Amino acid sequence: MHNMKYGPIARFVIRWFVCALGLWIAAGFLNDRISFDSSLFVLVTAGLLLAVVNTVIKPIVVILSLPAILFSLGLFMIVINGFMVWLVGVLYPRLDISGFGTAMLAGICIGLVNYLVTTILEER
């Protein structure tokens, strides 16, 4: 997303959309472990909160976790992404995530959606 010719607001809106879409897809795959009351409002709000958490908190956590990330050859990022999803579930109780393992799976799903959307947008 860094090489795209979008302004910072457009990039944040895209990130918000990707987070909400990723949560929706993750909830579809993990249907009994992630619940958003089938409410589009809850999903969009959780996506917004996840986008804010990923913008503000995640860079700090990544810097503090750099030794673990390097030692694990980047695999620790799965744990960090899961932590971000879990944190959103704690901060926004209407998004119910059954546990940290579920949050890690959702983080993987959101990461894949982010990769696909970024690839599509960079081709244009």
Q: Which two tokens stand for residue 114?
A: 């982010």
**pLDDT by residue (tens digit) across 81-103?**
999 999 999 999 999 999 999 99
Judged against a pLDDT cut of 70, whether residue 124 lies above it is answered with no
Q: What is the mean pLDDT of residues 41-68?
A: 96
Place of tokens 């695999």: 75
Closest CA to 58 of 39, 37, 41, 78: 78
pLDDT at 72: 97
pTM value?
A: 0.89
Mean local confidence (pLDDT), 110-124: 87
Strand partners, 35: 96
Q: What's the pLDDT band for 4 if we cut at 50, 70, 90?
A: low
Task: For residues 52-61, give the mean pLDDT.
Answer: 96
- Supply the pLDDT for residue 102: 95
* Dist. CA 80–CA 65, nearest whole Å: 9
User: What pLDDT does 107 receive?
Assistant: 95
Tokens 């090489």, residue located? 3
